């Protein structure tokens, strides 16, 4: 099982839970499974092309997946995945 | 009624110093504490201030006011927190059992009010958004806001 940390704005989809467990062989697979358990979560994480939104940071064991293999990053049981919205702004 | 945010004078001074250091670029960072009282300050690197090309990230957000500006100008009016430093700060907060209380950034050319982009990208309803304006370089102006579902309300701050 993989532990997934859910940020506050997405907890309306996870019945208020800040941490959920899921299976998944890659980030892509994990997001698909999360979406079955918590419908709508995929749309919040990915754009229409299915790519991860740039204002969402995803980490596997504290490594930003942009510096791993993105959505193809492999997962194994015991991994920690954190979903953390970016903090940004501008005029 | 959200709590009044109590922020130590030393942290207010440190945020203003941070803003002045990065001027004309925007600085950004996080404050943590117990509900209502700030006790810890984290400076976070603004990737846009470091490399103007990092503003490309905003293209996806379809941010109209930014799109009209050149890359170098946009870099002076935007911030994007370095993801790894952000995660390290959140981890430190959990280890110390502190909550994220404030997300701050500076405005070097405009007043201390959240912009359309600031509001559109406010994903943390539990934190107050604090802005340090250096529009008047001699008199920094600090104001904080709650941003929930794109609605902005003032947050009361008290320096202690
Ligand atoms: Zn701003």
ipTM of the complex, rounded to two decimals: 0.88
Residues 6+ apart with CB under 8 A from A19: A3, A4, A5, A6
For chain B, which domains are there? 5-141+151-159 (3.40.140.10)
Nearest to A89 by CA among B33, B103, B109: B103
pTM of the model: 0.89
pLDDT tens for A35-57 read: 999 999 999 999 889 889 888 99
Cα gap B135→B107, rounded to integer Å: 7
> Which chain A residue is nearest to residue B130, measuring alpha carbons?
A89
C-alpha A17: how far from its chain's center?
14
- Residue B2: the pLDDT is 65
pLDDT tens for A2-12 read: 999 999 889 99
Decide if B121 and A64 are in contact by the 8 Å CB cutoff: no
Per-residue confidence band for B61, with pLDDT thresholds at 50, 70 and 90: low
pLDDT tens for A62-72 read: 899 988 999 99
Contacts of B123 in chain A (CB under 8 A): 7, 9, 55, 85-87
**Element housing B34 (H / E):** strand B28-34
Nearest to B117 by CA among B61, B71, B68, B70: B61
In this complex, the residue of A7, A55, A91 whose CB is nearest that of residue B110 is A91
In this complex, the residue of A8, A47, A54 whose CB is nearest that of residue B125 is A8
Is the CB of residue A70 less than 8 Å from the CB of residue A58?
Answer: no
Per-residue confidence band for A91, with pLDDT thresholds at 50, 70 and 90: low
Decide if A90 and B84 are in contact by the 8 Å CB cutoff: no
Termini Cα distance of chain A: 42
pLDDT at residue B1 greater than cutoff 60? no
Residues 6+ apart with CB under 8 A from A8: A18, B124, B125, B126
Overall average pLDDT of the B20-45 stretch: 94
**Element housing A4 (H / E):** strand A2-5
Share of residues in chain B with pLDDT > 70 (%): 91
pLDDT at residue B117 greater than cutoff 60? yes
For chain A, which domains are there? 2-85 (3.10.20.30)
Overall average pLDDT of the B27-43 stretch: 95
**Mean pLDDT score across all residues of chain A:** 93
Decide if A59 and B126 are in contact by the 8 Å CB cutoff: no
């Amino acid at each position: 099982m993989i532990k997934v940390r859910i940020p506050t704005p997405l907890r309306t989809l996870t019945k208020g839970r800040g941490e959920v467990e899921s299976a998944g062989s890659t980030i892509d697979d994990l997001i698909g499974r999360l979406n079955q358990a918590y419908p709508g979560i995929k749309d919040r994480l990915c754009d229409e092309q299915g790519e991860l939104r740039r204002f969402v940071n995803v980490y596997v064991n504290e490594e930003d997946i942009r510096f791993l293999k993105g959505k193809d990053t492999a997962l194994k049981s015991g991994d920690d995945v954190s979903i953390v919205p970016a903090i940004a702004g501008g005029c | 009624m959200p709590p009044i945010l109590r922020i130590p004078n030393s942290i207010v001074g440190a945020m203003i110093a941070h803003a002045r250091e990065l001027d004309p670029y925007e600085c950004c960072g996080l404050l943590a504490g117990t509900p209502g009282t700030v006790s810890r300050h984290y400076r976070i690197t603004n990737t846009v201030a470091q490399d103007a090309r990092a503003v490309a990230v905003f293209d996806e957000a379809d941010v109209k006011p930014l799109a009209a500006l050149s890359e170098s100008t946009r870099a002076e009016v935007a911030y994007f927190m370095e993801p790894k430093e952000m995660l390290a700060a959140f981890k430190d907060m959990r280890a110390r059992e502190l909550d994220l209380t404030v997300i701050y950034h500076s405005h070097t050319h405009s007043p201390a009010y959240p912009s359309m982009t600031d509001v559109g990208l406010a994903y943390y309803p539990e934190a107050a958004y604090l802005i340090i304006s250096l529009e008047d370089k001699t008199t920094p102006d600090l104001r904080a806001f709650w941003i929930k579902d794109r609605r902005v309300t003032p947050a009361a701050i008290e320096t202690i």
